[in-house]
Each structure stands twice: as structure tokens, then as C-alpha cells.
Structure 1
Amino acid sequence: MRVKRYVVDSMPDALQKIRTDLGKDAVILNTKEIRTGGFLGLFGKKKIEVIAAIDGANTNSGGAAQRFAPQPQPQQQKVMSQEQPARIQSHYSDFPDVPDVIAPVSAKKELVTVSTSVETQKSFASQQSYSPVSVNAPNRVILKDEHLMEELKQMKEMMRKLTHASEETNLPEPIQKIEHRLIEQEVDPALVRQIMDEVVADFQLADEPVTDESALQVVRTKLGQVLQSDRSKQISPQTRVVHFVGPTGVGKTTTIAKLAAEQVLKYQRKVGFITSDTYRIAAIEQLKTYGTILNVPLEVVFSPQDLAKAFHNLAECDVIFMDTAGRNFRNEMYVSELNSLLKTQGNSETILVLSLTTKYRDMRAITNNFNKFKLDKVLFTKMDETDSYGAIVNVVHEFSLQLSYVTNGQSVPDDITEMNEWQIIDLLLEEPRA
């Protein structure tokens, strides 16, 4: 029996050295981590100590005969692997230089045959570093945490529903019916609850019974306080430039044509067009067609540097309508470019154009983005394409914007009127149609 001790950095290094020194038939008796160098046992480097051995009959001189000898059957291999530790133990005295390493080897320890294949080396290294418990445990912890979070989420939702139900039971039935109607119209639930609390307080203060008619009248008054404003919805006669901003597809160009027709035909003002919408196919041609019909001049700007020339060419106009490109409102480059286009001299207004067919969640994000440009008014389009009007209340209440116009069709110059708050309130409170 020939036994040899190796101190290496990794198991692949040990396997290579064992194969070179002892041959492919060598067996590994023991492996353990040790530290070498350092001071008083500190700051030492981690190493791996490997004890390998080979039977005297498998040395280089007899290696050829051994390789050509008949291979033992699996049952014989099992018997040999059980007998080898005992044979090695009888030869301990032949190796006085490594008795401290060989002595702790248990007689029951399995002997691992050295393999030169890459798969065996990877398997051995993975067995030294990981165990099934260490690999699977994080997955079990993650699954457990996800299950716990899901249960907490369900409990929270259940508590919210129970709380909301208990609050509803405190409201008189006529007020509950109005609350449900406003929620169905997609009015912000927090605003609805605030209005309902004020209505209940008013009835308690007046000490009057709550009826369907009286509840509708009080809620109507509260909604009027949210939507009404002392400012004019129309374009001011002192306004020199009107900027129209908004996302794609809301109908800015058509709306500009409708308002231009109103200014030309109703107020006899000379109108000019400026468009920076050079991204949408046929956008310039569309506005040019409207300009030809209304006898309104058009200037096209490709960058903020072209604005000075455009304003100079339209110096004789009473009011200038500026159409901006309806691009992605989340694009920061577009935001910066649009901000440069809105820096004009003289009195100006900036009108945000929103479609009533847009979800309020998107409306809020759009308004938040364009609100950086000092929005003055909000104009809603496509009123004829929806039966939900709660977004109007939400935008005015959350962003304190002044209502202006609303469109309800594609006809030019028709299908545009000033926003009537009381008409919107009646639509919000009317009984849903069958």
C-alpha cells in the first residue's frame, strides 16, 4: 500500500496530482479543510488536505498487468471496498510521516476511485460545497413568505370590505343610493365619502328627515361647489397665444379647428395657426385644410428656434392657436422639448386636452406630467363616446384646473360647447338607464 498526502487549493488540483503520482486506480482516504501560514493561527489561507492511497499491486511496474486484468464484478467491488480499509490499517507503520492524518480514518469510510472525467470533478466539488438542505431551504422559505403575504393581503382586503360595509350601514338609505351611483360613475371613492359625510352632517345640523329628493339636492350642491369657478371658460380676449397640449389620439387638431371657427365666425377675430406636430402622418395637411376653409394662415415649426420667425409672420393675427405633437407623455425628451415650445412672449393660455374615454388612472398620470407647464384649463373630448363622467370631477378636484370646453362629435365647427357643470352633475346623479 502506498499512501500520499496533498495540500492543495481545490479538489480539481488534488485529483490531477493524484492521477499523475498514483495513477487512475488510486483511492481517496480522507479530505478536510486546513489553514496554512498566518500568525498564531490567524490570517491563514484556506487549503484542502487530501490523503490518497494505492495498492502495492497497482504501482507503475504492475500497472499494465493490472489494466489488462479481468475487471471484478459489482458484487466483488463491494467486497473489495469493505476489505481495503482493514488492509490499509495494517500498513500504517510503514508511513511515519503522516500518522496524524491516517489515524482518524474510520474503517467504515467509503473509498472514492479517482476519475478523470469533468462530470466527476464537478460532482465532487458540488458535494463539498452544498447539501440538499442548503439548496432547497431558501426556496422553501421564499414559498412560505409568499404564502404568508398572500394570507395577509386577503385579510386586509376582507377588513377593508367589512369596514366599508359597516360605514355604509351608518348612512341613510337615500344617501347610500347616491353614493353607489357616484362610485359607478368612477368618482374618486375618497371624494365620494367626503361628500357623503358632509351631507349627513348638514342633515343632522338641520334636524331634518332624509328623503330621496332632499338628498339629491344637497349632493348636487356639494358637487357644484367642487366644479364651479369664478373664472371664464372661454378664451380671454387678452390672450395672444393658446397652447394645446395632450397625449396622442385625444383630438387636439380637430378641437383647434372648432375653436378657430368660433373665434372667426362668432367673435370676428383674426386667427393664426402654428403646428409643431411634424411626427404624425398628414397632421400638417389636416390643419392646413382647416386653415384654407377658415382663411387662417399656418406656420410650421420644427424646433423651438423656429418660433420667433413663426410669430413674426403671424404678427397681424389677434390670437394664435398652437398645436403640439401628441407624443408619449412619459418621454422625458418630449417633455423638455414641449417646455421649450411653450415659452412665448405676451399673454398666453395652456389648455390640456383629455379624452373622456381614457381611464382616470391614465388621466392622472397625464395631468401630473403636463402640469409642469402651468396648465390653465382642461378641455374634454369624446363626450358622446362614453356614459361615465366621474373623471371630470376627479381632475378638477385633484388638480384645481378650470373647466373650459367639451366636444361631443367630429363635426367642424359644431359639436363643441362650453362645459356646463350642472349638466355634468345631472348626468352623474341620474338613474342608470336599463
Structure 2
Amino acid sequence: MIVRSYSGRSVAEALEKVRKDLGPQALIIETRTCKEAGLFGRQTGYEVVAAGEAEGETNAAARSAAPAPVPSQRRPGQLPLPRSGPAHEASQARQLLSAMVPEQTVEELNHRGDLSLEIASIRRQLARLACGHGVPTDHLGATTSQLLEERELPAEIIAECDEVIAKAGGRVPEARRSELLSRYLAKHLRTTAGIDWQQNRMLIVCGPTGVGKTTTIAKLAGDLVLRHGRRVGLVTIDTYRVGAADQLQAYADLLDMPFAVARTPAELGQVVATMTDCDNILVDTAGRSPADGTRVHELKGFCRAVPGMSVALTIAATAGRAEFAAVVERFSLLPVEHCLLTKLDECEASGRLYGCLRRHGLNIAYCTHGQEVPDDFCTADAMSIASRILAPSPQRMSAV
């Protein structure tokens, strides 16, 4: 048994290399995206890790005597695999993987997103082999497959989409195919269609620099005042950025809302105490770099200053995978309940965004898709986000 890695500009190209090298009985262990050097810089490629038998190993196995039977080591819940054909390959690969990753290590790291996705991908491949399907076939069609790859949808989720179409019969009209996939993808997103403002009277909005927190707060305030008729107070603790307080005060004056600046957690508590006639209070914060743990810890003090303060994390839809993960990890120090997704109109890699949202399981409450205040703002809808991945051109979300 050998394990090799194959790369290509598409999943199909990498799989073709697997078939040529290891044959049609090869076991696909993992698929993932990668960056390859190209004529126009680093481009997105795909890497497939596969297991199979080299020709010499196959001949040697044929000459050797059959091994003595051994008691079954199958655990409850494992698929019973026959001892020949593709299923036998799956069994050998599983033993190889067990040797490579000790069971104790798997249990300790199982809650980490990357490992969980890889394990899920391996399990799907083993299940397909146990049913005699062998290497996955492309039921999506060349056009849909290329579109999903261009939108940078993670390879393991593309494989899931292929299974969805396979279960629907394989030959599905394009319109029906898009509907099936959008519904499947939406089912795995967590959206809250806004925030219950009766239960969340005070909201502090945090996030990294440059994601549009202040503009988003202005949109939230405008929505609450103009559409819901609520009395809103605005507070900023951003004393770092030049003009930050002036910008938010301009919004407050425009909508006739009380406004205040708080420099310490104690001041925040005092300011909130003066806004007893407000239905809701929104607190703007300075941008914190995910690499600056000290600043995030400072923010934790403000979150604790007022009992009942809810926390919303603002993330730009244009963030790359590594940046997205770093933001979520750093701000996990705070009791984040809601996610505000900004710059959706600038996001071209909607598949990459989907993969990040799904991997980190964020509760998406609102989305912004432009600079107009209070417009270009809507409650989050899982179907709308998922549909962007399959749209022939970038979509503009409408208010809900």
C-alpha cells in the first residue's frame, strides 16, 4: 500500500492523474485546495491524496500465500467491508491512516475544524467504496464543477454536491441542479435573520480593522429607527482612530439619537446608565488586529462593564481562509453571539466565504453590500448566501 499526492488545476485533472498512476481502484483519502506558481502569479489549484498498491506490490501479493484468518477488529458502527476489491483497499487505507494518526490524537483534536472536515471526507470515501462505487464520478457536469472551483468552494464540499446530484438521479436540468445544491448548501449555514432587539437591548460591535464596523453600526441604527421605530443611543469607545467619534456623532445627529464617548469600561457603564430612555444602545469599538491579543483583552473589559451586553463580531466577506480563521480564533476570547457580514458586494470567491462560514459555525445576523446608509443592508438569509455560489455572475442581496 502506498500513499501519494497529486495536484492539478481542477479536481478532475488531479483525479485523472490518480487513475493513471494507481488505477481505478485507488482510494481517495483527501482533496484540498492549494496555491500553485503560474505564469500570472500564484493560482488556486487542487491536491488529491490517494492510496493504492504499486504494481510490484500487487504481483508480490499474488505470489504469496493467503494469510491466516484473524478475528474481526470491527468496532460498533463501522462499515463491514469485504476482503477483496475496492473495499479491501479501503480497509488497508484505514489501517494505514490509523497508524499515521494515533486514535488518542484523533480524539483530542476531533473538535478542530480542519481535522473534522478531513475525517468526514475520508468517511464518505470509505462508505462509497463499501457500496462498490470506487472512485467518485462527476455528476455535477463540467460547467457546474468549473463554476464551484472558480468560486473557491472547498473540494470536500464540491464532493458533497456531487453526491447530492448523484442521489437525485445524476441527470438533472441545470435550473433544478442549482436549486438542489443551493438548498443543500443553505441547510448547513447558521443564520438568525437579524437580532431579537427585545432580548438584546445593548450590542457592542467588534472586529478587525477595516471591516466597516462604524458604517455597519450606522446602518443598524438607521434600520432600528426608520423601519422599527425604536429609540437608539450610540456610544463609541474608539479613541484611537482619528475622526471615528465625529463620524458616528454625525450619524447620531442626522437621526436625532443621543451620542456619547466612553474611554474606559467604567465610563461605558456610566454612559449606559444615562440612556435609560433608549430602547437599544449600540457601541462602536476600535479595530483590533487578530495578532494583537492585548487589545482584544482590553475589549473584554468593556464587554463585562455592563450586565446584559451582547457582542457581535464583524467580518468582511472578502477575508481569505487564513485571515478568517485568525479573526474567529482571536475574538473567541469574547462572548460573541452574532456575526455581521460586511462587503458582500465585493466578494468574488463566494465559495471560499461559504466554506469559512460553515467551518466556523457563526450565527450570521446581518449582511451589508455597499456603502449607502441606511440602505445596502439586510437580515442574513442562508438561501441568499448559498445561491451566490451558483449564480452566473455576482448577485446583489436585497433587504429582507
**Pairs within 5 Å for 1:371-390:** 371-390=332-351
Per residue, is there more helix in 1 or in 2? 1
Q: Give the structure 2 partner of residue 257 of structure 1.
A: 218
What is the CA–CA distance in structure 1 between the aligned matches of 2:16 and 2:280, rounded to whole Å? 52
Identity %: 27
SS of 1:373's partner is coil
| Deviation (angstroms), 1:291 | 1.0
**Pairs within 5 Å for 1:315-330:** 315-330=276-291
Is the deviation greater in 408-417 or in 246-255?
408-417
**5+ residue gaps, structure 2:** 20-27, 29-47, 49-134, 395-400
SS of 1:343's partner is helix
Of 182, 200, 203 in structure 2, the residue corresponding to residue 220 of structure 1 is 182
**1:276 to 1:234, Cα distance in 2 relative to 1, 3 A:** same
Q: Deviations over 1:119-150 (max 9, x none)?
A: xxxxxxxxxxxxxxxxxxxxxxxxxxxxxxxx
Question: Which structure is higher in RCO with an 8 Å CA cutoff and minimum separation 6?
Answer: 2
What is the CA–CA distance in structure 2 between the aligned matches of 1:184 and 1:265, rounded to whole Å? 39
**1:374 to 1:176, Cα distance in 2 relative to 1, 3 A:** farther
**5+ residue gaps, structure 1:** 1-154
Q: Give the structure 2 partner of residue 290 of structure 1.
A: 251
Of 363, 367, 370 in structure 1, the residue corresponding to residue 324 of structure 2 is 363
SS of 1:406's partner is strand
* 2:232–2:280 Cα contact (<8 Å) kept: yes
| Deviation (angstroms), 1:421 | 2.6
Q: Give the structure 2 partner of residue 49 of structure 1.
A: none
What is the CA–CA distance in structure 2 between the aligned matches of 1:208 and 1:183, rounded to whole Å? 19
SS of 2:333's partner is helix
**Pairs within 5 Å for 1:191-270:** 191-200=157-166, 202-203=167-168, 209-227=171-189, 229=191, 231-270=192-231
Q: Deviations over 1:138-191 (max 9, x none)?
A: xxxxxxxxxxxxxxxxx7445997447657984235355433322221222223
Aligned-partner residue type, residue 192 of structure 1? I
Of 350, 355, 359 in structure 2, the residue corresponding to residue 398 of structure 1 is 359
Q: Give the structure 2 partner of residue 184 of structure 1.
A: 150
TM-score (norm 1): 0.57
| Deviation (angstroms), 1:430 | 2.3
| Deviation (angstroms), 1:210 | 4.4
Equivalenced residues, count: 275
What is the CA–CA distance in structure 1 between the aligned matches of 2:185 and 2:317, rounded to whole Å? 19
SS of 2:336's partner is coil
TM-score (norm 2): 0.62
| Deviation (angstroms), 1:321 | 0.3
Q: Deviations over 1:211-261 (max 9, x none)?
A: 4444333222211211255x4423432212111111111111011111101
Find the structure with the greater CA-based Rg: 1
What is the CA–CA distance in structure 2 between the aligned matches of 1:399 and 1:210, rounded to whole Å? 31
Q: Deviations over 1:8-61 (max 9, x none)?
A: xxxxxxxxxxxxxxxxxxxxxxxxxxxxxxxxxxxxxxxxxxxxxxxxxxxxxx
